[in-house]
Every structure is written in C-alpha cells, then in structure tokens.
Structure 1
Amino acid sequence: MSKVGFIGLGIMGGPMAANLVKAGHEVVGYNRSQAKVDKLVADGGKAAASVAEAVRDAEIIFTMLPDSPDVEAVVLGEDGVLANAKSGALLVDCSTIRPDVSRRVAEAAAEKGVRALDAPVSGGEPKAIDGTLSIMVGGEADAFAAAQDVLNAVGTTIVHVGPSGAGQTVKAANQLIVAGNIGLVAEALVFLEAHGVDTEAGMKVLGGGLAGSTVLDAKNEKMRNREFAPGFRLELHHKDMGIVQAAARDAGLTIPLGSLVSQLVAAAVAQGDGKLDHSGLLKQITQLNGRD
C-alpha cells in the first residue's frame, strides 16, 4: 500500500481520498477549510496543516483543485507540491484544467524528479462516493502503470489516452458532451411539460431508447423536481466550457452546438445560478420559454 498525500478535499476530492483509505492506503490530506480535513480524519485518514506537510513523505500525491491557477499555485508555488515532494514521487492531478497547464506542470515535475499524470475524472459526486469514476489519463506509460493501484481505488473506467495534456483534452470533450446533453434533456423536459405529458413516464421511456444517456438517468428526476443541490456546480462547468472553447480555437475548430450551450451556461452563471448543480441549466431553458 502507498503513502498518499491528497490536496483538495471538496465534493469530489473528499470521497476519493476516503476511498483510498478504504483500499488500505495511508492518506494524509490537506484542504483550506478544516472541516473537510476533519471529515477525512473521521474516515480514517490523517490531517496535514499545509501542502508541504501533506506531500513531504508521500509516494503518490493527488491534487483535486478547481481551476488552472489553483493547480499552478499549489503545485508550482514557492512552498507547493514540487518544492516539497521527494524525488521519485508520482503526482496525479485529477483537477479539470487547461491542457497546456498540465503539460507545463509535467515539465516542471520532471525537472524535480517527480513523474506527473493529468488524470481528470468524470461521474460527479455519486461516482466519487462509489469509487466508480471514469478517469482519462495523460502522461508517460510507466507513470500510468505506477498509478494503477491507487486509480483502481477511485475509478472503474481508467484509460491511458496519451501524453501529458491528453487527459485534459479528453475531459474537455467530456464536458462538451455533458453540457450539450443537459441542455437537450432540459429542452425535452420543458417540451413534455408544455404538452401536459407525465414527465416521469416520458423520461422513463426516453431513457430506455436511443435517447437514453447517463446524463438523462442521473439528472432527470432532480430536473423534474427543480432540485439543484450541487453535485457539480454550474460555475465549474462554465470554467470547463471556457477550456473547451479555447482548445477548439487552438485547433482551428468551430463547435457551433458547444458555443451555444456555452452561452447558456454563461448566462446562468451571470444571473446568479453558478452555485447550483449544472442541471440547473434547466432554469435558463424555462426562462427562455417564459415558463418560470
């Protein structure tokens, strides 16, 4: 079993760290809010008072942070991960960030004798709790092989998709599909409601046919009930769609459907809904149709 340092114990990171403990790993966690650290301790992990303390003796270091600047600050900062990690350690960044930042982190890590993987995850809070996340991993093949045991503790679909930054590129594609799917499920729900159809029955039969999807299964009940407690916040999906748009521009691509849903997500955040679950995009669709 491995000594693991885990930085970022939020909605996703907390359950992931707890699953690493359950798998028998020695996990030392750090988070800016003490309550999250206390929860990990209650789950059998250990507390760190700083990033340095969390990573100093770790063989494997996980980071699960909100955005690219957070990863740069925590990993590359003066008293951050690379300044304190021992040579030979393995850094597994599960944050969703820009591919170019992941490549830069990998280069900086190599200079310190640390192997780095970008390993963003998909599945939301329920799969983080169950340990059934989908994990798309970029980096060297030997680093991926070394991370296999710890990744198996938090996910079930774990795929090495290419060199550093490739994991983030695949995650951007994932977020593009999810946002578009949420938008269409929302439109379908409003459509059914407008015609007086039993939406529970309608969504059930849609889910059993070609229109079925993981998004429809996971989100339709809460959307029907207008329950938007965050499993993944709209403001984070807004950030992710910015990554998608920038990466598309870098490749000289146009993504017309992605651009439209990006605008809808941006409008939701601008109107104060950023803290809602991303299924809260339904509110934009209902407002556009005057069905508040």
Structure 2
Amino acid sequence: MSKVAVLGMGAMGSRMAAALLRADYQVTVWNRTADKTSPLVEAGAKAAQTPRAAVEEVDFAVCMVRDDAASHSVWLDSETGALASLPGRAVAIESSTLSVAWVQELAGHFQAAGKALLDAPVSGSRPQAEAAQLIYLVGGDTGRVAKAEPILKVMGGTVHHAGPLGSGAAVKLAINALLGVQVAVMGELIALLRRYGIDEARAVEMIGATSVCSPAARGAASAMAARNYAPLFPSALMEKDLGYLQEMAAEHGTRAPLAQAARSVFGEAMGQGYGEENMTGVVQLYWPGP
C-alpha cells in the first residue's frame, strides 16, 4: 500500500488523514502545533517533526493548510520545507484553497526541482470530509491526475480534472465566491424580514420552499435562524478566498463587483469579532446579540 504524508491537521486535513488510515494506507502526519497529530497517531499514523521529515519516503504528499503563506512555509521553508526531500517518484497534492498566482509560482518551484505537483482543492466542509465525500477540483498533468486519482477517491467521492496547474484553484475560488455571495445576501434578507416583523424561521421556510433558493443558501439561512455559528467555514476564510478571487480578476483585467461586495461583508464581520465563527455569523451584523 502507498505511503502518504498529510501536512496540516486542521478540520479538513485530520479527517482526510483518518480516511486514508481507514483504507490501510501508511500515513505520516505533520502539523505546526504537534498536539493535533495525537489522535491520528493513536489511530495508527506516524508523526513527523517537520514537513521535510514527513515526506522523505512517501508516494504522495497531501497539503491542507490555511492560506498562501502557510503553503509557502510547508513546501519551501529553507530549513523544514517539504519540496527539498520529496522523492522524485512522489506526487504532491496541494489541497489548500490558495490564490491562482501562488499555485502557479509553486508549480514553477516544483518544475525546477523536477518533481510532480497537482493543485487539488476540494468542495465540501467537515461533514463531507468526515464521510470521505469531498469533491476534488484538480489542476495538473493528465497522467499525474490519473496516478493520484485512487488516493483522491479514498478521501472524496468525485474527482474533476479542471485543466492545467492553477485550474483547480480557479474553479474552487469561483465556487466559494458563489457561496459567499449567497450567504452574505441571505444574512441581510433574513434580518430585514425579522425587522419587518416576520419570524426568521418562518421566513426561512418560505424562502427555502421556492425554486430560487439553492440548497446552500437554504442551509445557511436555517443556521442563521437557529443562531448556529459553529465554525464549519469561518468568515475569515471566506474573506480570504474572496480576496484571492479579486486578485485573479485584477490579473486578468476584469471585475467581480458582487464578490467584492460580499468580501466587504465578511471583512466587517471580522472587524466585529466574528471572523472565526461560521460564515453564517454575518447575520449578527444586522441583529447583534441573542
């Protein structure tokens, strides 16, 4: 069975590593704060002190971290970066939600080192990761995608090849922008109807019964009405992703004004102290308190 390193033991990476262990892969895990590796070690994984040590003998190296800066540190840190010790036969799978510009820059480093990289962000959150039903959006060489597909299907239910390196990141940012716009507008609409005197749960029921309401918007609105802000997808991460989309739009000479408006809402939520709560917490901008 293949040897796999999973770099980053956050909500997603830890569940991805658990899925690999259940499928009997030999798994090595690393996290910036080592205590988060303990549950995986108890389940049968090995823990490494650095990303560089984690990937020394692997066939695949999966990275799932917060942002561009964290990805840069994992792969390229001069003392602990994983790229330097990644075996030539291995395929690196960068599953973090990153900017397209950084993915393409990282691809250049891999090419210069003669090593293989896929950008493979996922659609889905903790429940989908728990159930190994993530949707993979993969950018990279067709042959490398085929080589990695069996391991991706251990962690996810569907694998889409989006195109060359950077394509996975571009599609993921578009998906998150669509989600962010819906969540932002649902927050203001539900709060507005409440101000008008309509019970928010009743408002969600009526809006959710129409064909214009997506399942994602319906779920977000239900969480808002229930005051459920448990962090499945924090506002700070949504603001980050919308910022990356803005950078992509600017690089290609176009605009994304609705995404920019949604980003400002999530930025305001961060400023009010709601950044690490779930993105549904933006509704608190309009009805603070219980």
TM-score, length of structure 2 as denominator length: 0.93
Q: Which residue of 1 aligns with 2:113?
A: 112
Q: Which residue of 1 aligns with 2:251?
A: 250
Q: Which residue of 1 aligns with 2:168?
A: 167
Q: Which residue of 2 aligns with 1:48?
A: 48
Cα distance change, pair 159–46 in 1 and its aligned pair in 2 (3 A): same
Q: Which residue of 1 aligns with 2:182?
A: 181
What is the CA–CA distance in structure 1 between the aligned matches of 2:219 and 2:148, rounded to whole Å?
A: 29
**Partner SS for 2:5:** strand
1:87-102 correspondence runs (5 A):
87-102=88-103
State the Cα distance separating 1:112 from its structure 2 match: 2.4
What is the CA–CA distance in structure 2 between the aligned matches of 1:267 and 1:2, rounded to whole Å?
A: 45
Name the Cα RMSD after superposition.
Answer: 1.8
What letter is aligned with 1:180? V
1:185-196 correspondence runs (5 A):
185-196=186-197
What letter is aligned with 2:43? D
What letter is aligned with 1:101? W
State the Cα distance separating 1:217 from its structure 2 match: 4.1
Contact 2:2-2:25 within 8 A present in 1 as well: yes
What is the CA–CA distance in structure 1 between the aligned matches of 2:162 and 2:44, rounded to whole Å?
A: 33
Map Cα deviations across residues 207-239 of structure 1 (whole Å, 9 max, x no partner).
343233232343233211222121122111111
**Partner SS for 2:168:** helix
What is the CA–CA distance in structure 1 between the aligned matches of 2:219 and 2:53, rounded to whole Å?
A: 38
Gaps of 5+ in 2: none
What is the CA–CA distance in structure 1 between the aligned matches of 2:207 and 2:23, rounded to whole Å?
A: 38
Aligned positions, number? 289
TM-score, length of structure 1 as denominator length: 0.93
**Partner SS for 2:287:** helix
State the Cα distance separating 1:100 from its structure 2 match: 1.6
Cα distance change, pair 208–141 in 1 and its aligned pair in 2 (3 A): farther
Q: Which residue of 2 aligns with 1:223?
A: 224
State the Cα distance separating 1:41 from its structure 2 match: 1.6
Residue identity over aligned pairs, in percent, reads 30
What is the CA–CA distance in structure 2 between the aligned matches of 1:111 and 1:221, rounded to whole Å?
A: 49
Moved more, 168-177 or 191-200: 191-200
Gaps of 5+ in 1: none
Contact 1:133-1:154 within 8 A present in 2 as well: yes
Q: Which residue of 2 aligns with 1:286?
A: 287
